[in-house]
Amino acid sequence: MLGWMTRRSLLATLLAGPLALGALPGVAQAETTLRVIPHADLKNLDPIWTTAYITRNHGYMIYDTLFAMNENFEPQPQMVDSWETSEDGLTWTFVLRDGLTFHDGAPVTATDVVASLERWGKRDGMGQQLFANTASLEAQDDKTVVLTLANDYGLVLESIGKISSNVPFIMPARVAATDPFEQITDFTGSGPFVFQADEWVPGSTVVYTKFEDYIPRDEPVSAASGGKLAKVDKVVWTYFPDQTTAMNALMAGEVDFFEQPANDLAPLLEANPDITVEVNDPLGNIGFARFNHLLPPFDNADVRRAAIMAMKQEDYMAAAVGDPKFWKTCYSVFPCGTPLDNDVGSEVIAKGDVDAAKAALAETGYDGTPVVIMQPTDIPILSAFSLVTAEKLRNAGFEVEVQAMDWSTLTSRRASRDPVADGGWNMFHTWWIGADVIDPMAIAFSGNPDAGWFGWAEDEALEEARAAFAVAGSEEEKKAVAQTVQDRLWSIGASGQLGQFFNPVAYRSNVKGLIKSPVQFFWNISVE
Amino acid sequence: MTRYITMRVLSTIPVMVLVALFVFLMLRLAPGDPASVIAGDYATAEDVARIREQLGLSDPIVVQFFRWVGALIQGDLGTSIFSGKPVTELIGQRIEPTMLLALTTILFAVVVAVPLGTIAAFRAGSLLDRVVMLFSVSGFSVPVFVLGYILIYTFSMSLKILPVQGYKSPFTEGLGPFLYHITLPTVTLSVIFVALIARMTRASVIEVLEEDYIRTARAKGQSELTILMRHALRNAAVPVVTVIGIGIALLIGGVVVTESVFNIPGLGRLVLDAVLARDYPIIQGLILFFSFIYIFINLMIDLSYTLLDPRIRY
Q: What's the pLDDT tens digit per position in A109-131?
A: 999 999 999 999 998 889 988 99
A182 in Cβ contact with A147 (< 8 Å)? no
CA distance B312 to A475: 89
**Taking CB atoms and an 8 Å cutoff, what residues of chain B touch A51?**
39-43
Torsion angle defined by CA atoms of residues B147, B151, B157 and B158, in that order, rounded to the nearest 10 degrees? 120
Give me the half-sphere count of Cα atoms (radius 13 Å) on the Cβ side of residue A249: 27
**Taking CB atoms and an 8 Å cutoff, what residues of chain A touch B38?**
44, 49-50
* DSSP conformation letters of A444-501: GG---TTTS-TT----HHHHHHHHHHHH--SHHHHHHHHHHHHHHHHHTT-EEEEEEE
pLDDT at A239: 94
Residue A159 — very low, low, confident or very high, per pLDDT cuts 50/70/90? very high
Residue of B nearest to A48 (CA): B39
Contact check, Cβ <8 Å, A49/B38:
yes
Out of B36, B80, B175, name the one closest to residue A415 (CB).
Answer: B36
Residue A16 — very low, low, confident or very high, per pLDDT cuts 50/70/90? very low
For the four alpha carbons of B241, B246, B249 and B251, in that order, the dihedral sign comes to negative
- Whether residue A2 is predicted with pLDDT greater than 50 in this model: the reply is no
CA distance A462 to A486: 9
Out of B44, B162, B261, name the one closest to residue A15 (CB).
Answer: B162
pLDDT at B314: 67
A219 in Cβ contact with A199 (< 8 Å)? no
Measured CA distances, A253 to A241, A246, B116, B133, B181 (Å): 18, 11, 38, 39, 15
Contact check, Cβ <8 Å, A245/B90:
no
Which among B27, B38, B42, B91 is the top mutation candidate for probing chain A, defined by the most A β-carbons within 10 Å of its own β-carbon? B42
- Whether residue A390 is predicted with pLDDT greater than 70 in this model: the reply is yes
Which among B44, B91, B278 is the top mutation candidate for probing chain A, defined by the most A β-carbons within 10 Å of its own β-carbon? B44
Contact check, Cβ <8 Å, B168/A23:
yes
Interface confidence (ipTM) of the complex? 0.82
Residue of B nearest to A124 (CA): B42
**Taking CB atoms and an 8 Å cutoff, what residues of chain A touch B165?**
240, 245, 248-249, 254
Contact check, Cβ <8 Å, B156/A252:
yes
Question: Where does A150-233 show beta strands of DSSP type E?
Answer: 169-170, 193-195, 205-210
Would an 8 Å CB–CB cutoff place A21 in contact with chain B?
A: yes
- Lowest mean pLDDT segment, chosen from A193-197, A399-403, A449-453: A449-453
Any bridge partners for residue A68, and if so which?
A76
Would an 8 Å CB–CB cutoff place A5 in contact with chain B?
A: no
Q: Report whether the peptide linkage leading into residue A133 is cis, meaning its omega lies within 30 degrees of zero.
A: no
pLDDT at A11: 41
pLDDT at A279: 94
CA distance A70 to A432: 20
pLDDT at A15: 43
Q: Which of B203, B209, B210, B304 is nearest to B248 (CA)?
A: B304
CA distance A413 to A422: 10
Backbone phi and psi for residue A28, each to the nearest 5 degrees, phi listed first = -100, 105
Residue of B nearest to A44 (CA): B83
Q: Which residues of chain A from 101 to 130 reach within 8 Å of chain B, CB to CB?
A: 123-125
Residue type, B174: G
Contact check, Cβ <8 Å, A22/B37:
no
Three-point CA angle A365, A370, A376, nearest 5°: 135
**Taking CB atoms and an 8 Å cutoff, what residues of chain B touch A252?**
156-157, 160, 163-164
**Taking CB atoms and an 8 Å cutoff, what residues of chain B touch A205?**
265
**DSSP class of residue A167?**
P
From the CA of A523, how many Å to the nearest CA of chain B?
25
- Tally of CB atoms within 10 A around B171: 10
**Taking CB atoms and an 8 Å cutoff, what residues of chain B touch A195?**
none
Which among A248, A290, A292, A430 is the top mutation candidate for probing chain B, defined by the most B β-carbons within 10 Å of its own β-carbon? A248
pLDDT at A22: 40
Higher pLDDT among residues A24 and A493, named by residue:
A493
Burial string for A114-137 (b: 16+ CB within 10 Å, else e) reads bbbbbbbbebbbbbebbbebbeeb
Q: Which of B189, B137, B183 is nearest to B164 (CA)?
A: B183
- Pick left, alpha or beta for residue A523 (phi over 0 → left; psi -120 to 50 → alpha; otherwise beta): beta
CA distance A240 to A265: 15
Q: Which of B280, B251, B297 is nearest to B12 (CA)?
A: B297
pLDDT at A29: 52
Contact check, Cβ <8 Å, B42/A125:
yes
pLDDT at A428: 97
- Collect all residues with Cβ–Cβ distance below 8 Å to B20 and sequence separation of at least 6: B69, B72, B284, B288
* DSSP conformation letters of A290-340: EE-TTSTTTTSHHHHHHHHHT--HHHHHHHHT-SGGGEE---SSSPTTSTT
Contact check, Cβ <8 Å, B269/A16:
no
pLDDT at A4: 37
Burial string for B236-253 (b: 16+ CB within 10 Å, else e) reads bbbebbbbbbbbbeebbe
Mean pLDDT across A336-362: 94
Out of B93, B165, B272, name the one closest to residue A245 (CB).
Answer: B165
A327 in Cβ contact with A427 (< 8 Å)? no
pLDDT at A425: 97
Q: Which residues of chain A from 437 to 466 reach within 8 Å of chain B, CB to CB?
A: 443, 451-454
End-to-end CA distance of chain A: 44
**Taking CB atoms and an 8 Å cutoff, what residues of chain A touch B168?**
23
What rounded mean pLDDT belongs to chain A?
92
Would an 8 Å CB–CB cutoff place A25 in contact with chain B?
A: yes
CA distance A355 to A397: 10
Summarised one tens digit per residue, pLDDT across range A198-250 is 999 988 999 999 999 999 999 999 999 999 999 999 999 999 989 999 999 99
A427 alpha-carbon distance from chain centroid: 22
- Lowest mean pLDDT segment, chosen from A62-71, A397-406, B167-176, B234-243: B234-243
Q: Characterize the bridge pairing of strands A511-512 and A526-527.
A: antiparallel
- Whether residue A368 is predicted with pLDDT greater than 90 in this model: the reply is yes
Q: Report whether the peptide linkage leading into residue B86 is cis, meaning its omega lies within 30 degrees of zero.
A: no
**Taking CB atoms and an 8 Å cutoff, what residues of chain B touch A445?**
none
pLDDT at A294: 97
From the CA of B41, how many Å to the nearest CA of chain A?
8
CA distance A361 to A302: 8
CA distance A193 to A59: 10
Positions of chain B with pLDDT lower than 50, given as ranges: none
